[in-house]
Amino acid sequence: MDVVHVAVAVIDDGDGQILIARRPDHVHQGGLWEFPGGKVEPGEAVFDALKREVWEELAIRVEAAEPLIEIRHDYPDKCVLLDVWCVNRFTGVPSGNEGQPLCWVSKKQLANYAFPEANQPIIEAVVAKISC
């Protein structure tokens, strides 16, 4: 199976709150919460994909980000490579541009939301990190 390369953004508000979004019911891993992001296009740099996806989904401009962790995960129907970045600086106010519910949550609260299976190590990395 082809591996789908995905740029994923962990966005924090500088005050310990992290932005999560709910995936639509009808898509892959639908109904679960996620960190915003999406597929890297052929020939596109991952950071450019991150900025593009965050703009498309949330209408905010990423100004600075750093790599956090890369996760390769095989779902029964899809293989993904999640390229996860911490967004350190952005401009604008996030809005669910695609109608997706958004929520700002503390690191501790992340455990109360259902995420796709691949996200477990991401959540551990976020919790372990001092900022983001």
Q: Which residues are annotated as a binding site for Mg(2+)?
A: 37, 57
Size of the site for ligand 8DG (CB under 6 A): 18
Closer residue to Mg ion in complex, CB, 15/42: 42
Nearest residue to 38 (alpha-carbon basis) of 106, 97, 91, 92: 97
Question: Does 29 interact with ligand 8DG (rule: CB under 6 A)?
Answer: yes
Question: Does 39 interact with ligand 8DG (rule: CB under 6 A)?
Answer: yes
The length of the chain is 132
Question: Does 94 interact with ligand 8DG (rule: CB under 6 A)?
Answer: no
Q: Which does 50 bind (CB under 5 to 8 A by kind): Mg ion, ligand 8DG, none?
A: none
The CA distance from 111 to 120, in Å, is 9
CB of 104 to ligand 8DG, least distance (A): 16
Closer residue to Mg ion in complex, CB, 21/108: 21
Nearest residue to 106 (alpha-carbon basis) of 36, 21, 15: 15
Q: In the chain, what is the greatest distance between 2 CA atoms, to the nearest angstrom?
A: 40
Which residues have C-beta within 8 Å of that of residue 67, sequence separation ≥ 6? 83, 84, 85, 86
Chain residues binding ligand 8DG by CB under 6 A are: 4, 6, 8, 27-29, 34-35, 37-39, 53, 78, 80, 82, 116, 118-119
